[in-house]
A and B are shown apart, each in its own frame.
Chain A
Amino acid sequence: MAKLTAKERMQISRHPMVEQDPVERSHNFKEVNLGYTAEMAIEEAQRCIQCPKPTCTMGCPVSINIKGFINLVAEGDFSGAVKIIKIDNALPAICGRVCPQEEQCEQSCVLTTKYKPVAIGYLERFVADYERENGQVAIPETKASTGKRIAIVGSGPAGLSCANDLIQWGHQVTVFEALHELGGVLVYGIPEFRLPKEIVRQEINNLKTMGVEFQTDIVIGRTITIDELLEEEGYDAVFVGVGAGLPWFMGIPGENLVGVYTANEFLTRVNLMKAYQFPDYDSPILDCRDKNVAVFGGGNTAMDAVRTSLRLGAKNAYIVYRRSEKEMPARVEEVKHAKEEGVQFKILTNPVEFIGDEDQWLKAMKCIKMELGEPDDSGRRRPVPIAGSEYITEIDIAIIAIGNGSNPLIKQTTPEIEIGKRGTIIVDPETMETSKKGVFAGGDIVTGGATVILAMGAGRTAAKAIHEYVMTKPS
Chain B
Amino acid sequence: MHKILEARFLAENIKLFRIEAPRIARKRKAGQFVIVRLDEHGERIPLTIADSDTGAGTITIIVQGVGKTTKALNMKERGDSIMDVVGPLGMPSHIDKFGNVVCIGGGVGTAIALPTATALKKAENYVITINGARSKNLVILENEMKAVSDESYVTTDDGSYGFHGFVTQKLQQLIDNGKKIDFVLAIGPIPMMKAVADVTRAYKIKTVVSLNPIMVDGTGMCGGCRVIVDGVSKFACVDGPEFDAHVVDFKNLADRNKMYTKNERVSLKHFEHNCRLDKKINEIKTMND
**Chain A residues at the B interface, C-beta cutoff of 8 Å:** 178-180, 216-219, 222-224, 245-247, 249, 255-256, 258-259, 261-262, 264-265, 268-269, 273-274, 278-287, 359-361, 407-409
Contacts and interface: CB of A to CB of B under 8 A. Distances in A.
B87 A224 contact: no
Interface in B189-233: 216-217, 219-224, 226, 228, 233
Give the 8 A-B residue pairs with the shortest CB-CB distance, closest first.
A284-B263, A282-B43, A265-B222, A245-B221, A217-B86, A360-B255, A262-B223, A279-B270
13 contacts: A178-B217, A180-B86, A249-B233, A262-B223, A268-B222, A269-B216, A281-B43, A283-B216, A286-B260, A287-B263, A361-B255, A407-B219, A408-B238
Contacts of A249: 223, 233
Contacts of A259: 259
A249 B43 CA distance: 25
A223 B263 contact: no
B220 A256 contact: no
Contact of A247 (B37, B68, B222, B251): B222
Contacts of A222: 27, 87-89
A216 to B, nearest CB: 7
B62 interface: no
Contacts of B37: 180
Given A359-B255, A360-B256, A409 B84 contact: no
A284 B252 contact: no
A278 B267 contact: yes
A362 to B, nearest CB: 11
B102 interface: no
A265 B213 CA distance: 14
Given A258-B258, A282-B69, 17 more contacts: A218-B23, A223-B27, A245-B219, A245-B220, A246-B220, A249-B223, A256-B226, A256-B233, A256-B252, A261-B224, A262-B222, A264-B222, A279-B267, A282-B42, A284-B260, A286-B259, A360-B256
B24 interface: yes
B264 interface: yes
B258 to A, nearest CB: 7
Contacts of A216: 84
A184 to B, nearest CB: 10
Given A178-B86, A258-B259, A409 B220 contact: yes
Chain B at the A interface: mostly helix, strand, loop or mixed? Answer: mixed
Interface string B262-284: 11101100100000000000000
Contacts, number: 117
B246 interface: no
Contacts of B216: 265, 268-269, 273, 283
Contacts of B264: 284
Interface of B: 23-24, 27, 37, 41-44, 68-69, 83-89, 216-217, 219-224, 226, 228, 233, 238, 251-252, 255-256, 258-260, 262-264, 266-267, 270
Contacts of B89: 219, 222
A352 B168 CA distance: 41
A282 B224 contact: no
A295 to B, nearest CB: 15
Contacts of A268: 216-217, 221-222
Contacts of B23: 218, 223-224
Contacts of A256: 226, 228, 233, 252, 256
Nearest to A284: B263
B45 to A, nearest CB: 9
Nearest to A405: B220
Nearest to B32: A222
Contact of B224 (A178, A245, A262): A262
A218 B86 contact: yes
A465 to B, nearest CB: 27
A264 B68 CA distance: 24
Contacts of B41: 274, 280-282
B221 to A, nearest CB: 4
A109 to B, nearest CB: 37
A223 B256 contact: no
A255 B226 CA distance: 10
Nearest to A246: B220
Contacts of A278: 263, 266-267
B54 to A, nearest CB: 14
B256 to A, nearest CB: 6
Contacts of A255: 233
Nearest to B262: A287
A247 to B, nearest CB: 4
A432 to B, nearest CB: 23
A182 B276 CA distance: 35
Given A217-B84, A223-B88, A256-B233, A178 B219 contact: yes
Output the residue of B24, B69, B223, B260 with the most chain A CB within 10 A. Answer: B223
Contacts of B259: 258-259, 286
A232 to B, nearest CB: 10
Nearest to B253: A256
Contacts of A283: 43-44, 216
B221 A273 contact: no
A269 B214 CA distance: 12
B223 A265 contact: yes
A180 B84 contact: yes
Output the residue of A218, A261, A360, A361 with the most chain B CB within 10 A. Answer: A360
Nearest to A217: B86
